[in-house]
Structure 1
Amino acid sequence: MFINSKGYYIPTKRVDNNYFAKLNDLSEDWYFKRTGILTRARASEEETINYMSIKAVENAIKNLPYDIHEVDLIVFASYTPNDTVGTTAHIIQKEFNINNAKAFYISSACSSAINGMEIINSFFKSKISSKALLICADRNSSYSDDRDTQSGHLWGDAAVALFFSSEPIRPNEASILDINTLGLGNVGHGPQAVTMEPKNGLHMPYGKDVFTHACVYLARLTDTIIKKNGYSISDLTYFIGHQANKRILNNVCHELGLAENKSLSNVEELGNTGCASAPLVFAQNYDIFKEGDLVCLSVFGGGYSCGTCLIKFN
């Protein structure tokens, strides 16, 4: 499974800690110490999840080595969809007139991107598909509450698009060596830890439980997939964890014995952009990767769920 092109869209508006400090009568430092976040990307009224996703695909098309109409599978991954009937996958299919493609929506909270990759890889292995488009996007501001001091200050908005093929299209394309996901609904507070219910919006009533299990499973899955593929942690060029909290990322690096300069991050500026976060960091940093680099994406989502993938630059 090969990565053919990447693209992303990030709203230009930033919401800083001063906004939340004034709104909730807390200090700016209170927010930064708990999260490592200084600002969050915030979508405007115009920047719907469909708009951001279309822009991300347009950005990816610029370097796509084949016609987008050759895509035969479209997967949209999100937990904040604008519509669960006319999904963003179908909006993308219509917008770009992609005929004869399967199109559907999946959700496993913030681990949805890796679930999407795993599904695409399965379609490739079974010969059902040969070229696929994965769109990962969350517009958390549609559902979050800025006055919620437990988690309202965490969320950002963004979209990322990745094109994949079952066979290499051009020389030196990055390849997915391995993918693994896991449902963790039976762990800790599981489905009650992060919720997004009708009329109640997006909330995280058990933040400490989320923090603890995110640290454990991000480190565990990363270590497992690296060793399974015959590598050691020292072989890892870059680690990209789910961008939920800078303290979680630092904790995972410490647990793995990984130098923090090997951990790529955007959470300080963009906040937790949901299932877009890890692939967004990957797409933003794509130009720094070089031949021989080994990159691991590791994610954790409410519910709970987790996933990891190992990428080699050929």
Structure 2
Amino acid sequence: MYLHHVAAYLPTAVVTNEHFTRLNGLASDWIIERTGIRERRKAGPGENANTMAIAATHALLAELPGFAPASIDLIVAGTYTPHDTIYTAAHAVQRDLGINEIPTVSISSACSSLLNAVEIVEGYFALGKASRALVVVSEHNTAYNNEEDTMAGHLWGDGAAALLLTKEPLGSQDLRVVQVLTGGAAPMGKADEAVTLKPVDKGIVMPYGRDVFQQACTYMTRITQQLLDKNGLAVSELNYLIPHQANLRISANVVKQLGLDPARAVNNIERLGNTGCAGAAIGLAEIWPSIKSGDNLIVTVFGGGYSYGAMLLVKQ
């Protein structure tokens, strides 16, 4: 399986830390020290998880002028902040593309949805049910977030990304998807209440941030090392590590445990905040032009609930 291209969409509105200083007294330096976040994007009026998924898809196709969208035969979307749980982001993208009667799936496994979506594509490809798949990850965190929550209200940003995956390579820019490993760690720690999103209650809340931090550091490091070991790679052979963009301190901790050069870690949380399951995909889109032949990349994620995973990509 191959990743042919990836592109992102970000709303234009920027919310800086000073907004939260004015709102609830949180100092910008305090937010930066604890999370690494300086600013985040916020969806505008009329924007939502569906519209951003469509916008990311348009951005992807605009960068692939020779590609026929009608050849897409599978759409998988991931989000935990849906605009509609019936007419999902995947259906919105399908309708926009006008491709009828193909498998169209939306999933939610917190911030691990990106890699679970890729695994679903693997399954369809292996069964011969599809050969060109669109994976879209989109989060409208600010639709659910309570900005006055001093524990987590300042963490969230909005954004989306789209990936084109194919069973056979389409060009020299393709990355080979070598292996994807995912798992659930729901029996661990405070998984059942550490991060919750209850639309009829309080929206997104994170009362046990320390537990999230500890579990994320443990599982992202462990699954990344397992992926390296399974494929006979040393940490020094890893050109890029793209971690879930939840907290800059988590990324730094994972990098330190692995013994990886910090310069090889991709981070956008400083500019975008926590963009959920879209964060790592946005990061991949940002470095796409810099990826060279022979490069090894790992995307590693952790989500509330708890869920985790890692994916090894190689530029041929």
TM-score (norm 1): 0.98
2:88 aligned partner: 87
Deviations 1:141-163 (Å, cap 9, x if unpaired)?
00011111111111000000001
1:226 aligned partner: 228
List aligned pairs for 1:1-314, cutoff 5 A: 1-64=1-64, 65-199=66-200, 200-314=202-316
Q: Secondary structure at the match of 1:190?
A: coil
Cα gap change, 1:118/1:45 in structure 2, threshold over 3 Å: closer, same or farther?
A: same
Q: Secondary structure at the match of 1:308?
A: strand
Contact 2:144–2:199, Cα closer than 8 Å, also in 1: no
Q: Secondary structure at the match of 2:189?
A: coil
Q: Secondary structure at the match of 2:245?
A: coil
Question: In structure 1, what is the Cα distance between the partners aligned to 2:192 and 2:283?
Answer: 27
Question: In structure 2, what is the Cα distance between the partners aligned to 1:201 and 1:171?
Answer: 44
Aligned length: 314
Question: In structure 2, what is the Cα distance between the partners aligned to 1:98 and 1:120?
Answer: 17
Q: Secondary structure at the match of 2:192?
A: helix
5+ long unaligned stretches in structure 1: none
Contact 1:145–1:201, Cα closer than 8 Å, also in 2: yes
5+ long unaligned stretches in structure 2: none
- What letter is aligned with 1:234? S
Contact 2:26–2:150, Cα closer than 8 Å, also in 1: no
Question: In structure 1, what is the Cα distance between the partners aligned to 2:240 and 2:105?
Answer: 31
Question: In structure 1, what is the Cα distance between the partners aligned to 2:213 and 2:224?
Answer: 17
Contact 2:5–2:174, Cα closer than 8 Å, also in 1: no
- What letter is aligned with 1:28? S
Contact 1:7–1:59, Cα closer than 8 Å, also in 2: yes
Sequence identity percentage:
41
Contact 1:5–1:61, Cα closer than 8 Å, also in 2: no
Question: In structure 1, what is the Cα distance between the partners aligned to 2:272 and 2:67?
Answer: 31
Aligned-pair RMSD on alpha carbons?
1.0
- What letter is aligned with 1:215? C
Cα offset, 1:66, TM superposition: 2.8
Question: In structure 2, what is the Cα distance between the partners aligned to 1:78 and 1:251?
Answer: 26
Cα offset, 1:46, TM superposition: 2.4
Cα offset, 1:63, TM superposition: 3.2
- What letter is aligned with 2:27? S
- What letter is aligned with 2:313? I
Contact 2:6–2:281, Cα closer than 8 Å, also in 1: no
Question: In structure 1, what is the Cα distance between the partners aligned to 2:100 and 2:132?
Answer: 13
Cα offset, 1:47, TM superposition: 2.0
Deviations 1:49-73 (Å, cap 9, x if unpaired)?
2211111101111233531111111
TM-score (norm 2): 0.97
Question: In structure 2, what is the Cα distance between the partners aligned to 1:172 and 1:50?
Answer: 28
